[in-house]
Chain A
Amino acid sequence: MLAALLRVIDTLCAIGAGVAALSAAALALILIGEVAVTSFFNWSQPWAIEYAIYLQCFVLFCGAGWTLRQGGHIRVAVLMQALPASAARLLDMVGTVFAIGMIGFASWALWQQLIRTYGFGSTSFYPMGTPIWIPQGMLTLGVTLLLLAFIARLLRLAIGQPADATAGVTGGGVE
C-alpha cells in the first residue's frame, strides 16, 4: 500500500520532470526560431515571447518535485552532517514537516488563485490574450507535485528508506 503510494508519487514527479524537460526544449526552439525569422526576414512572431515565458515557468516548477527526489534543492547540511544518524533523521523529518506546511500553504494559495482566475476568465495582456488559467494551472500542478514529493520524503524517512535518490552533491553539478 505504502510502496504503491510512493511509486505513484515518484511517477507523477517524473512525468512533471518530463514536461519541464520538453518545455525547456520547446523554449529553446521557439527563441532560436524567433532569432532566425527576425534577423533574416524581419518577421517577429507576436506569440514567441509570451509562450516562452509560460514555458520558462514550467521549466522552473514542473520538475520541482522530481528535483527534490534527486536531492537537487539546496539546504544547509552542516548541522545535519555533524549529528549522529538517528538525530539527523529526526531533524530531517522535522524539516520535511515544516516544508510540507509551507509548500502546502503555497499550493493551497495557488489553487485558490487558479479558481479565481478561471472564474474571472482573465486573459494575458500580450497580443495572444491567452486565458491565464492554463499556464497558472501548470504552475499550480508543479508546486503541488513538490508538496507530494515532500510528503513522500516524510514517509520514506519514517520507514527508514533513503530519502534522496542520488547521494549528496554529485560531480558536474551546475550552479
Chain B
Amino acid sequence: MSGPLLLVLGMLVVTLAGGIWVGVALMSIGVVALEAFRDMRVDRFLASDIWSSSTAVELITLPLFILMGELLFHTRLSENLFRGLSPWTRRLPGRLVHVNVMGCTLFAAVSGSSAATTATVGRITLQELLARGYDKRLAVGSLAGAGTLGFLIPPSIPMIVYGVVADVSILELFIAGLVPGLLLAALFMGWIAFRAWRDPTLVPPMEPAIPRAEALKALGNLVPIVFLITFVMGSLYFGFASITEAAAIGVLGALLVALAQRTLSWMGLWQALLGTVRTCSMIGLILVGALFLSKAMARLGLPADVANQIEAWGLHPYMLIFVLLLFYLALGCVLDGLSAIVMTLPVTLPLAVAAGFDPIWYGVFLIITIEMAQITPPVGFNLFVIQGLTKDGIFRIAAWAWPFCVIMMVFTVLITLFPEIVTFLPHSTRG
C-alpha cells in the first residue's frame, strides 16, 4: 500500500472513531494529505474549493426540497393518508399494516428524506395500529422498512448529493428511482401479507365492513397528497419543468396545502425555515469536506491506485458488487448513509464503472444500501425516529425491521442480475 493511501485510511479510522465531526474529519484528511505529499498552497486550494462547492448550481434543489419537507410536517398529511388508505386494505392479509407501506410510498413521492417519511407517516399509523391490537413487531418493523423508501422514491436528498459528488444527472437519478421504489414497496407488502397469512394472530379480528360509499368518500383525504405529487413530480416526469422549477413548485405546493388546511402559523413557518437551515448546515459541512477530500485524493492519484489494486484481484463484476454491498452494510452500522456515500464514492464509483455498471444504476444501488444503513444499529436514523415514537430500544426495533432489511438485500441481487429495472426508464427518456 502506498504512503498517501495508508495516511488517508489511518486518519479516517482515527478521526471518525474519535468522534470528530464527519465534515471536519474529511476536510482535515484532505489538508494533511496534500500538505504531506504535494508541494502546493493548500490554503488557497481549500478556500476556493469551499467557495465553488457551496455555490454549485446543482445544489440549489437541496434547500428547496428540505424546506418542502419541513413545511409538510406542519400539515395534516399523515392523518389524511391514514384515513384515505385504511378502508382499502380490508381484503389484504395483514390489513392496516399495509397502510404503513402505502402511506410511506405516497409520502416518499413528496419527501426527499427517509427519517421525515418515517416520522410523518409513523406518528399516526403506529398509534392506530397498536391501539387496534396489531402485532407490534410487524407494525414497527414495517414502518422502519417502508420509511426508508423516502430515499429511493424521488425527490431524494441523498440522490441530489450523489448527483453532485458523482457528477451525474439528478433528474435521471430521480427517474431511475421510481420503478425500484415501487417494486420494493410491493415486496414489503408481499412479506406483510405472507406473515399475516402464516400467523393470523398478528392481526386483530376483522372490524365491521365500511360501506363502499364511505370508503370512496374517505379517498377525498388523499386529494392534498395526490395534488402535490402531480404538481411536483408530474411536472418533472412529463417534462414541463426542470428539476429546480419542480423543487420551487414543491415548496409552493406544500405552502398551499398548509394554508388550505390552516395548520401553518407564522411561528410554524419560522420553525420550518430554521429546520431547513439545520439540515442544510449539516449536509453542507459534510459535502464541502467530502468534495475537498475527493479532489485531494484525485491529485494524489489514490482512486486510480485503489482501483488498479482491486482490478488486479480479477473479481467478477457480481462479486465486486457483493463485496461493496457487504462493505456498505458494515459501514452503515456505524455511519449515517450520507457520510458513508460521500467519503467512499471517489474510490468505489470508478471501480463500479470499470466493472461495467452504469453510474445511474450505481447511484440507485448505493441509495438502497444507505436505506439499509438507516435501520441497522447502533447508528440508524430511522431507528432513532421510531425510538422517539415508541420508546423501545434501538436494537429491538432493528430486530423487528430485520426482515425488511433482508428484503432490500435480496432486491439488490435482483437489480444486479436485471439492471434494466433501474436503467430502463432513464435511458428511454434520454431519447
Contacts and interface: CB of A to CB of B under 8 A. Distances in A.
B106 interface: no
A110 interface: yes
12 contacts: A59-B63, A73-B281, A74-B286, A76-B16, A77-B379, A95-B19, A99-B24, A109-B50, A171-B384, A171-B385, A171-B389, A172-B388
Given A67-B282, A109-B47, A171-B389, A98 B277 contact: no
A139 B54 CA distance: 9
Nearest to A98: B20
B19 A80 contact: yes
Given A67-B278, A109-B43, A174-B113, A98 B66 contact: no
A35 B236 CA distance: 13
Contacts of A148: none
Contacts of B19: 75-77, 79-80, 91-92, 95
Interface in A66-119: 66-68, 70, 72-80, 91-92, 94-95, 98-99, 101-103, 105-106, 108-110, 112-113
Nearest to A171: B388
B384 A56 contact: no
Nearest to B338: A175
A76 B241 CA distance: 39
Interface of B: 15-24, 27-28, 31, 43-44, 46-48, 50-51, 54-55, 57, 59-60, 62-64, 66-67, 69-70, 73, 113-116, 119, 157, 241, 244-245, 247-249, 251-252, 270, 273-286, 288, 334-339, 378-379, 381, 384-385, 388-389
A173 B378 CA distance: 17
A8 interface: no
Contacts of B276: 21, 24, 59
Contact of B18 (A20, A31, A91, A106): A91
A119 to B, nearest CB: 14
Contacts of A171: 119, 384-385, 388-389
| Size bracket of the A interface | 35 or more
Given A60-B63, A74-B336, A106-B47, 13 more contacts: A17-B277, A21-B276, A34-B248, A53-B57, A60-B284, A63-B277, A63-B281, A74-B338, A76-B335, A79-B17, A79-B19, A173-B119, A175-B279
Contacts of B277: 17, 20-21, 24, 59, 62-63, 66-67
Contact of B50 (A77, A139, A170): A139
B47 A53 contact: no
B27 A106 contact: yes
Given A75-B22, A98-B28, A112-B43, A54 B385 contact: no
B22 A72 contact: no
Interface residues of chain A: helix, strand, loop or mixed (majority): helix
A1 B66 CA distance: 39
B68 to A, nearest CB: 9
A157 interface: no
Contact of B115 (A32, A77, A106, A175): A175
B47 A112 contact: yes
Contacts of A72: 278-279, 281-282
A35 B248 contact: yes
Nearest to A92: B19
A57 interface: yes
B381 A35 contact: no
10 closest A-B pairs by beta carbon, nearest first, are A171-B388, A60-B284, A31-B248, A113-B47, A67-B281, A109-B43, A21-B273, A63-B277, A109-B47, A20-B277
Given A61-B54, A175-B338, A53 B249 contact: no
Contact of A174 (B48, B66, B378, B388): B66
Interface string A28-42: 100110110000000
Given A35-B248, A102-B31, A173-B385, A24 B63 contact: yes
Contacts of A24: 63, 67, 273, 276-277, 280
Contacts of B50: 106, 109-110, 139, 143
A49 B244 CA distance: 10
B31 A173 contact: no
